Amino acid sequence: MPLKNKCVLPCSISSLFLSFSVICTLSFTLFLIFTSPHHPYPPPSQIPGLEDSIKVYVANLPRSLNYGLLEKYWSLPPDSRITSDPDHQIGSTPLPQNLSYPPYPENPLIKQYSAEYWILGDLMTPEKLRSGSFAKRVFDAREANVVFVPFFATLSAEMQLSVDRRVFRKKVKENEDYMRQKEVVELVRNTEAWKRSGGRDHVFVLTDPVAAWHIKNEIAPAILLVVDFGGWHRLDSKSSNGNSSEKIQHTQVSLLKDVIVPYTHLLPRLHLLENQKRQTLLYFKGAKHRHAGGIVREKLWDLLVNEPGVVMEEGFPNATGKEQSIRGMRTSEFCLHPAGDTPTSCRLFDAIQSLCIPVIISDNIELPFEGMIDYSELSVFVAVTDALQPKLLVHHLRSFSEKQRDEFRLKMAQVQPIFDYDNGHAGGIGPVPLDGAVNHIWKKVHQKLPMIKEAIVRDRRKPPGVSIPHRCHCT
């Protein structure tokens, strides 16, 4: 017993000391938890330099380069490039005179590129109606994050192609599109805003691959809103020993500074609750014969045209073919999206609006809002070499279960609004949809700002006469 009693006191003291230490440690930990932020890092809205909007200054260009250009368009004769021009039909009601904001063309050759119209319309909307816009308009270029250049470059190009395509690639006075491009460059590059940044914080909308054809080099430093990189110069740089593993120099376009934007879809939205059973496996409507990267389309056509469950139709969803396209896409499980003259087309966005699962066969395609959207959840991607193997594509598509197809359509239904430009207001003047294309475009531009600011600062510290060599802007 005495031995036991001798052991009790030291053991009790040790136990008490250990308990006291644990209590102190726990108390200090709780103090830190309740007096510190709940997150190890502050949310983005609290980080200096990151805000929930982007400040945009609209460059001062004459009306003749945007809304005045629309006035001129509506006075033109019918577009001879299509069989039925919806904008210039005989007996149609003429457009009212002196509209501040004329409508954008319904001609599908032009309408598919209408981003320029809706983005400017948002910025021209009175501030009291712009509470849902991610872009905040400012009226001093020094306060802006970016400078928006309000030139309807696509409309300008398409008008020239419609009136006289023979001079389109010539730098002559008869080419009115060239003269407008030249005017834009002279006006913008002489501003203090351009001189401060070298144009790196200026934004041009160039959705048509042939838009701004003659000034691409001059505006290449700017932020370009494009549907893909088709038609843009990408120099394949190789070493002197012929090693083809050298990276590509993107001398005009880059995912680091530019933003891929969606085409304007030409077909109306099909809501998920309206979806009905689909009888056709695979559907395609478009031109069979294309150039350059579009040669694959012709090969696919020959492979698929006689396959059971596959419908291949020539044509474009214009006034005469629109209903046919709606019916074809809404009754088909999958819609084929091969490369054409450029890696993508409005056909992809028509398919999404029709809940027809896109089958993308275009190895060099770039897609809008990646990082915000995971296209693998709503599309099927097939390499060109695989798609050109007989029977492989059809067998692959038949392997998807009904459950998998329904999951694709559910994802498509969730992202359909993101590809909408139209705000439903006359002249595009009015609140933009919160989850629509215009806001998503400005959010993507906002993501580029740190890189653009860094490039501007790097340029400023260059000694006179020193140029920074071209470097790869690969993804």
pTM: 0.84
User: Would the pLDDT of 343 be above 70?
Assistant: yes
CA distance 329 to 352: 9
Query: DSSP label at 273?
Result: G
pLDDT of residue 98: 82
> CA torsion sign, 113 to 114 to 119 to 124?
positive
pLDDT more than 70, % of the chain: 80
All residues at 6 or more sequence positions from 120 whose CB lies less than 8 Å from its CB, including other chains? 58, 66, 148, 150, 152, 428
> CA torsion sign, 205 to 349 to 124 to 455?
negative
pLDDT of residue 462: 81
User: Would the pLDDT of 7 be above 60?
Assistant: no
CA distance 263 to 164: 25
pLDDT of residue 334: 98
User: Would the pLDDT of 6 be above 60?
Assistant: no
**Using an 8 Å Cβ cutoff, are 295 and 353 in contact?**
no
CA distance 2 to 7: 9
Residue range 77-109, pLDDT digits in tens: 888 787 777 887 765 667 777 889 999 999 999
Residue 469: pLDDT band with limits 50, 70, 90: low
User: Would the pLDDT of 19 be above 60?
Assistant: no
Average pLDDT, the chain: 84
Greatest mean pLDDT among 213-217, 350-354, 468-472: 350-354
Among 357, 433, 361, residue whose Cα is nearest residue 393: 361
For residues 452-475, give the mean pLDDT: 73
User: Would the pLDDT of 443 be above 90?
Assistant: yes
User: Would the pLDDT of 332 be above 70?
Assistant: yes
User: Would the pLDDT of 43 be above 50?
Assistant: no
User: Would the pLDDT of 37 be above 70?
Assistant: no
Q: Phi and psi (nearest 5°) for 92?
A: -75, 155
In order of 20, 154, 347, the CA distances from 307 in angstroms are 80, 38, 21
Residue range 230-277, pLDDT digits in tens: 765 443 333 334 343 333 344 578 888 999 999 999 999 999 999 999
Residue 229: pLDDT band with limits 50, 70, 90: confident
- Tokens 């594509």 belong to residue: 393
Query: DSSP label at 373?
Result: B
CA distance 364 to 373: 18
For residues 297-315, give the mean pLDDT: 92
Q: Where are the beta strands (DSSP E) in 120-206?
A: 135-138, 146-148, 202-205
pLDDT of residue 468: 64
pLDDT of residue 461: 85
Residue range 121-164, pLDDT digits in tens: 999 999 999 989 999 999 999 999 999 999 999 999 999 999 99
pLDDT of residue 129: 93
- Tokens 């396959």 belong to residue: 307
